[in-house]
């Protein structure tokens, strides 16, 4: 189902409002190549249809999303995920293409409220407090971070930032965060000191050496256009995610086919940036 006219315009405005946490005439002009008059009209029409979704911030001269906006959007989504809601609540909705099918196997759908709080904190260099649970520490516990980047790593959204509890830069999965609050406390640690984020690691990927010569040719033709290997560059902090997503073995004696058809031929350069077991 596609959207036309006013519904499509409102969905575009709502998408920015919910995911970025705020919207302005200038932001609409930038995102959709609109003139000032047209952007103002889009805002008026949206606010007319969703009057209690926005609050005017005179200091920043923009509209911020209200708690009601997230509550009503979530409630409507649970009732019926219409084309309007699908566009407004998805930060990267796949386009419908005739004769092709996009199968949404992802089980994770990040909260627009969580995403927008982090986006605001990053843009305004503020701290964020939230409740978190992980596989290592499954009991919900409080965390405060100074976020600097939102990252779609594989199929999951992460936020990268300095953790005040551990005194380290770490990654946090958005789907495991709740009760996210932007604090008035400004960022205190320079993002440039995040060495794992700044480091660029070169990874040379080849067909797994345990494959037969014929199988290696199949992998090369599929993955490397017939060449012997492929060189990729990745931030140190994101290397683990890249290797997991591509199923690249860094310990080919233990990580073997058929689960692993690729291997890193320079594992010593990779291992310093991998997560501890």
Please count the CA atoms within 13 angstroms of the CA of 226 that sit on its side-chain side: 0
- Whether 211 and 261 have beta carbons less than 8 Å apart is answered as yes
Residue 203 pLDDT greater than 50, yes or no: yes
Q: Are residues 49 and 17 in the same domain?
A: yes
- Assigned domain for 31 exists: yes
Q: Which domain holds residue 229?
A: 199-273
Bridge partners, residue 141, by sequence: 132
53 vs 248: CA distance, rounded Å: 45
Question: Could you tell me the CATH number of the domain that includes residue 22?
Answer: 1.10.10.10
Q: Are residues 158 and 117 in the same domain?
A: yes
Structure-token pair, residue 150: 């939102």
Count up the domains in the chain and report the number: 3
- pLDDT tens column, 212-224: 999 999 999 999 9
- Whether 161 and 173 have beta carbons less than 8 Å apart is answered as no
Q: Are residues 24 and 80 in the same domain?
A: yes
Structure-token pair, residue 210: 């345990």
Last residue of a domain, one of 74, 89, 104: 89
Q: Are residues 190 and 126 in the same domain?
A: yes
Give the pLDDT of residue 2.
Answer: 45
125 vs 129: CA distance, rounded Å: 13
Give the pLDDT of residue 92.
Answer: 43
Residue 156, classed as helix, strand or coil, is: strand
């Amino acid at each position: 189902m596609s959207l036309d006219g006013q519904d499509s315009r409102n969905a575009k405005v709502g998408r920015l409002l919910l995911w970025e946490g705020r919207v302005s005439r200038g932001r609409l002009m930038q995102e959709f190549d609109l003139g000032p008059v047209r952007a103002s009209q889009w805002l008026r029409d949206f606010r007319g249809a969703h009057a209690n979704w926005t609050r005017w911030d005179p200091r920043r001269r923009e509209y911020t999303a209200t708690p009601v906006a997230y509550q009503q959007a979530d409630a409507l989504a649970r009732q019926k995920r219409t084309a309007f809601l699908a566009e407004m609540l998805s930060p990267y909705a796949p386009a419908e293409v005739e004769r092709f099918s996009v199968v949404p196997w992802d089980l994770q759908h990040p909260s627009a409220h969580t995403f927008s709080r982090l986006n605001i904190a990053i843009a305004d260099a503020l701290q964020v407090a939230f409740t978190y649970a992980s596989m290592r520490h499954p009991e919900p516990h409080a965390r405060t971070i100074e976020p600097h980047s939102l990252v779609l790593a594989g199929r999951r959204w992460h936020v990268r930032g300095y953790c005040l509890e551990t005194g380290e830069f770490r990654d946090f999965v958005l789907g495991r965060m709740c009760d996210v609050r932007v604090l008035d406390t400004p960022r205190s640690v320079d993002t440039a000191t995040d060495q794992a984020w700044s480091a660029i690691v070169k990874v040379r990927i080849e067909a797994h050496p345990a494959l037969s010569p014929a199988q290696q040719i199949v992998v090369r033709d599929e993955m490397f256009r017939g060449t012997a290997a492929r060189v990729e560059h990745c931030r140190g902090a994101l290397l683990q995610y890249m290797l997991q997503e591509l199923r690249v073995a860094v310990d080919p004696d233990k990580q073997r086919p058929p689960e692993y058809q690729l291997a890193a031929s320079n594992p010593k350069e990779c291992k310093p940036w991998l997560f501890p077991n």
